[in-house]
Chains A and B, each alone.
Chain A
């Protein structure tokens, strides 16, 4: 497995260089896992991407670097100490940096670019150099570049890659992987794609990092995929639009990050009491308030499970990886329709912006749940039923009249203040949880069942924890397991109760208060013995978890 860092200021083209490299390396057979560490600015600052590639599945970033592409001096300053002895730094010879190091390879990329006839192709020169350094052939360059570049600049960029290729010597061997047929997708795009697969017809949102990628992706495919995508005037409008569209029969979803979710909270309860299906995604970032806009955190769990006044059934699913991002979005749309409830998806910047290889999504047996077309006899929108689910008809599609009401209402949907009806309606709505509980997916167990240490996590720390467990078990000859929650509210408890006894339980979370641990304690009485908590806006890496556990000093 190899790991390179591409760093520089915002606006220097890190994204483009990474996108080209990812595609070329995947075409050559590698599994790709790229994380993004960006500042909240359009120009300047220090940004970097970590591109890890290998011949087996990769689930975490790593700070041990085989190579650095430095677009500015700061990148060298900040990351040279992470470079292995065999590693290299590739940079332009014009770069001013204070460090002297034999591992630094200076190329006059600017001059080379000018010679090729386009000052903007220095990124492609670096790509060519990287290919050579890692023992890659130029075989796929034309094919891949054609799929990325506009035809006017295709030739110069291919020339630039060749020039870069010829300017360095090979350092590492090509490894043979079998992943060229895999998809390469970011978590947020996978959510968008899953939404399309789940029958989405309407998406409304107000831009907010890091959730905007979902909005932009859906907007880019909306016309083709039959999804009306509307940028709302604010998040309150966004969620109320989604509910209105859903009421009128269009599968609907809204997306934001924590700050926007705060504004949506009242309407979450509207979806609950009016029993209008809704999927809402919160792509988390560090709070409170504006927090760290482009960074990652898992601190909205306790917020979203209890957001909005009053009590109503809801489902919260934490997305763990690029498979969940797709399949759980489909499931969320189905569960929302089936139980006529709000379903909340929790993602975060780390998962949302990380591109990874995944096995092409299997859409052969997706079944979409649809509202009823018509009912026999008298129509009661909020009919009291055995399972709490009432017949949902679509206004205008049926000759019956359909009502939705945010006030407490009777079976017809008319306002009531009757204590008896209130009780019946509360019980009816809460009853839906019973069905939902039966469909909960237990957390995934990874590692050694007989081990004495059990790590607990949820959502995007899945990947880093998975890598950590694998490293730990290799190093220590077993002993470590992990339970990682996707479905998180209502909390599935079976495996928890089965696997926690007689083990040292450690929760690993990207927040300051251990929100999963506290939820588990509240719901089951199980307490964690130790915790690894990180809230600096940077995702914990598998290796960091390993050293925290082995070197001790846990809180």
Chain B
């Protein structure tokens, strides 16, 4: 039963965003989600158009600001399955501060970063994950900044679910997406995504050779091992669920939300206001 519909996109033919969109559709369907229960949140960018192309609730806010809106929507209504799809520029550049602090906040949402190592929508400038030496119309002498390692950063900042996937391996991607959506807490997946128009370095061919799924024997609960794997970013790029730890999520620690009644369904007794007024007399 195909519950989710995808719409016509404005992406370039061959863009790595297509397999991500299709995988997400399949993952949601296989998880038995209903479109009206799902809220797709994004910032601005090519990746951030994803919510526009799938039949679910959608919130396309500001560049870099998807996470604050997403976690707050979840605080308002825990019944929503909240999923962020945004770019590497959006998530690690403009929204870098929100990335770090929402790892700490650990609200039960899923964050898929379409990491094409470039600013796609603005036509090909370096992103926080662009390789050193990558020449663009702005980085005319080649990118001088060391690329960010988002997996390492996420583990170090204390994320409970950290994975890397590739849009070239949909089977693995779907399986990771399902695990991430089901994870009770902030689940982070960095998805390697070719940009056929502006990134001539990290191409389908490049990823095909580089991607290296972690073996069955990898224990995602082993933090030191996970950090070691996260640091492997040479010719081989490890993919899979790299780190996983059960942590108490935001809602379960919050006085008002811990019992699972969505905030928007809670009614404050009328007497409370009278009591508060009385407290000033």
Contact = CB atoms under 8 A, between A and B. Distances in A.
Interface in A238-286: 238, 240-250, 252, 266-267, 270, 274
8 contacts: A183-B281, A226-B267, A227-B256, A244-B72, A394-B264, A396-B80, A397-B264, A402-B57
Contact of A248 (B35, B73, B273): B73
Interface in B262-281: 263-264, 266-268, 272-277, 280-281
B49 interface: yes
A482 interface: no
B75 A363 contact: no
A248 B264 contact: yes
Contacts of B268: 196, 225-226
Interface in B58-72: 58-62, 65, 67-72
B41 interface: yes
B37 A396 contact: yes
Given A240-B69, A406-B62, A183 B277 contact: yes
Interface in A56-90: none
A181 interface: yes
Given A226-B268, A243-B61, 13 more contacts: A233-B101, A237-B67, A237-B68, A245-B73, A247-B59, A247-B73, A252-B72, A267-B61, A395-B36, A396-B36, A405-B60, A407-B44, A414-B7
Contacts of A397: 77, 264
Contacts of A415: 10, 49, 52, 60
Given A248-B264, A397-B264, A404 B256 contact: no
B32 to A, nearest CB: 16
A201 to B, nearest CB: 6
Contact of A221 (B37, B79, B276): B276
Given A181-B281, A398-B36, A237 B97 contact: yes
A243 B68 CA distance: 9
B8 to A, nearest CB: 10
Contacts of A185: 280
Nearest to B59: A404
B80 A240 contact: no
B77 A396 contact: yes
Nearest to B34: A399
Contacts of B49: 415
A360 B281 contact: yes
Interface residues of A, number: 63
Nearest to A395: B57
B255 A395 contact: no
Interface string B6-24: 0100100000000000000
Contacts of B257: 228
Given A266-B62, A396-B37, A202 B277 contact: no
Interface string A338-369: 00000000000000000000001101000000
B57 A403 contact: yes
B76 interface: yes
A242 B264 contact: no
Contacts of A406: 44, 60-62
A224 interface: yes
Centre residue among B67, B255, B273 by max chain A CB count within 10 A: B273
Given A193-B277, A413-B58, A242 B39 contact: no
Interface in A152-207: 181-185, 189, 193, 196-197, 201-202, 204
B256 A228 contact: yes
Contacts of B41: 244
Nearest to A404: B59
